[in-house]
Amino acid sequence: MSSSPSTLSSRPNFQLSERASGVLLHLTSLPGPHGNGDLGAEARAFVEFLAGAGQRWWQMLPVNPVGPGFSPYSGVSAFAGNPLLIDLRGLVEEGWLDTSSLASALPADRADYPAAQELRTAALRKAFARFSERPDSHVDALAEFRERAAFWLGDYALFMALKRAFAGASWTSWRPELARRDAAALESARAELEHEVRFYEFEQYVFDRQWQSLRAFAFERGVGLIGDAPIFISHDSSDVWGNQESFRLDEQGEPTHVSGVPPDYFSQTGQRWGTPLYRWKVLKRQGYRFWIERFRTLMERFDVIRLDHFIGFARYWEIAAEQETAMNGRWLKGPGSDLFEAVEQELGTLPFIAEDLGLVTPGVRRLRRRHAMPGMRVLQFGFGGDPRENDFLPHRYIRDCVAYTGTHDNDTSVGWYEDGGDEAGPRSREQAERERAAALRYLQGPLASAPFISIHWLMTRALFASVANTAIVPMQDLLGLGSESRMNTPGRADGNWLFRLDPSALTAELVQTLRALTEVYGRCPPSDS
């Protein structure tokens, strides 16, 4: 079922320097009966759809375990895999679960994370009980996985076991000797909670097996996987608990300063993310081992990794923890090339995309270029409201970039186009109308009097026709879906990450249309064109 990560070495058509295209869709957005999409049959069907349509890339959001709010950008570990993505039907095939455990099919129109968590956790515990009865056939594979994940697995499994023992409370409220990681206390807890620790190791072993199986399936069909790495890490995580000296915390373990960005297109008061900031000097003294191992883990799962908030590696916005918004902060210098040179020395060429949206300085551009990372262009930003708007228009693209109609943080293209604006929102009614007129003028050009082509196909066509080596379109845009299908609205606490793909959406007509567009603009894999 599994394939060792070492057997999935890169091949030429998985390089960002090649002209290609792909689709952005998170795993949780796939169809399926268990509350959210996962690594099962629907994921393979999506790979088949991409391959049939001539697409070379499947981009998704972070796949780490999620915390409160179920945001993939606020996980309890930057290393572990999300157990909500485990395919329960795969556990039946392994002989670890009976089909009766899957009898509760959940609604598939929107993600229902609480129900999915309840169902999946119960099923995984049953599977672990059966696995524990006869683990002999997995001894070698489990040992290999533990060795490969040694940097993070022990801390993560103990953290999760302790978190359950303390009814989900933040690690700063645990007994002081456990919060400050007294060696004797940790050894005692590990012995006392051995069964729970083994369960969380089992979850990660299963996730890894299923992930490598899907990756091998995609590899064989010429589809590469693009992952996503948030720069900052949640405070209530195994990573911060296990590496307290590397984060800006007070004596009680609480953050003294937190992350965010100043006021921007998305918010008039900025975005206060609330995650603790790094002690970069400490990380440097440690040889950036934390980041090297983090990137090593990501490169075992993905062919390319998008570095979310790449700007933060050059400079980052510091907000005092007591501040309620991101308005009052200051810029501080990030680790820059020093970090990436250390990673390159150990891991080789870095297959990274730099998410360089926002307040991009010359220093950010130099850092990206020095390490040969393509930046991003977002077509929606090309029609007003962004100081770099000309750079976001396709005729201004460069080859060394990854172009999108929109990202997970944007409205869908149809939703953006049809939005009438709001004086209290990020753009006024007058600005929305100006952007709509500018989009039509640009996208239809001299064909403005011709019958109107759907805005999402106009934008996709413009993207594919550009010189950008890589063009990525969110699945919602390929389907022409409206704002109700938006994945995330920055600054909004509820109602995000819920989009699910209709099982009937991947039609033969869509495959033919997307493939034809891909062929016309020379983005099909060489063997397919």
250 part of the active site: no
Report d(CA 307, CA 367) in Å as an integer: 13
Report d(CA 98, CA 95) in Å as an integer: 7
pTM attached to this predicted model: 0.94
Q: What is residue 11's predicted lDDT score, i.e. its pLDDT?
A: 46
Q: What is residue 359's predicted lDDT score, i.e. its pLDDT?
A: 84
Q: What is residue 384's predicted lDDT score, i.e. its pLDDT?
A: 82
Which domains are present in the chain? Answer: 19-81+211-520 (3.20.20.80)
Report d(CA 171, CA 193) in Å as an integer: 16
Q: What is residue 141's predicted lDDT score, i.e. its pLDDT?
A: 93
Report d(CA 28, CA 111) in Å as an integer: 7
CA 64 to chain centre: 8
182 part of the active site: no
Report d(CA 48, CA 339) in Å as an integer: 38
Q: What is residue 268's predicted lDDT score, i.e. its pLDDT?
A: 81
Q: Which of 68, 308, 320, 64 is nearest to 207 (CA)?
A: 64
Beta strands 20-24; 57-59: pairing state: parallel
Query: Measured at the alpha carbon of residue 425, what is the angle toward residues 498 and 486, in degrees to the nearest 5?
Result: 20
Q: What is residue 528's predicted lDDT score, i.e. its pLDDT?
A: 64
Q: What is residue 494's predicted lDDT score, i.e. its pLDDT?
A: 87
Q: What is residue 424's predicted lDDT score, i.e. its pLDDT?
A: 63
Q: What is residue 12's predicted lDDT score, i.e. its pLDDT?
A: 43
Residues shown for the chain? 529
Please return the burial class of 208, using the count of CB atoms within 10 Å of its CB with bins 0-12, 13-18 and 19+.
buried
Q: What is residue 423's predicted lDDT score, i.e. its pLDDT?
A: 64
pLDDT lower than 50: segments of the chain: 1-3, 6-12
Please name the residues in contact with 507: beta carbons below 8 A apart, sequence gap of 6 or more: none
Q: What is residue 187's predicted lDDT score, i.e. its pLDDT?
A: 98
Q: What is residue 305's predicted lDDT score, i.e. its pLDDT?
A: 98
Q: In what order do the strands lie in the sheet with 257-261?
A: 271-276, 257-261, 315-320, 330-333
391 part of the active site: no
Given 203, 239, 355, 435, which residue is catalytic? Answer: 355
Judged by DSSP in three states, 518 sits in: helix
pLDDT in tens, 51-62: 999 999 999 999
Given 144, 177, 264, 409, which residue is catalytic? Answer: 409
Q: What is residue 8's predicted lDDT score, i.e. its pLDDT?
A: 46
Q: Look up residue 57 and give its DSSP letter.
A: E
Q: Which of 25, 30, 24 is nearest to 109 (CA)?
A: 30
Please name the residues in contact with 426: beta carbons below 8 A apart, sequence gap of 6 or more: 265, 266, 267, 268, 385
Q: What is residue 499's predicted lDDT score, i.e. its pLDDT?
A: 97
Tokens read off for 56: 């070379």
Residue 233 identity (one-letter amino acid): I
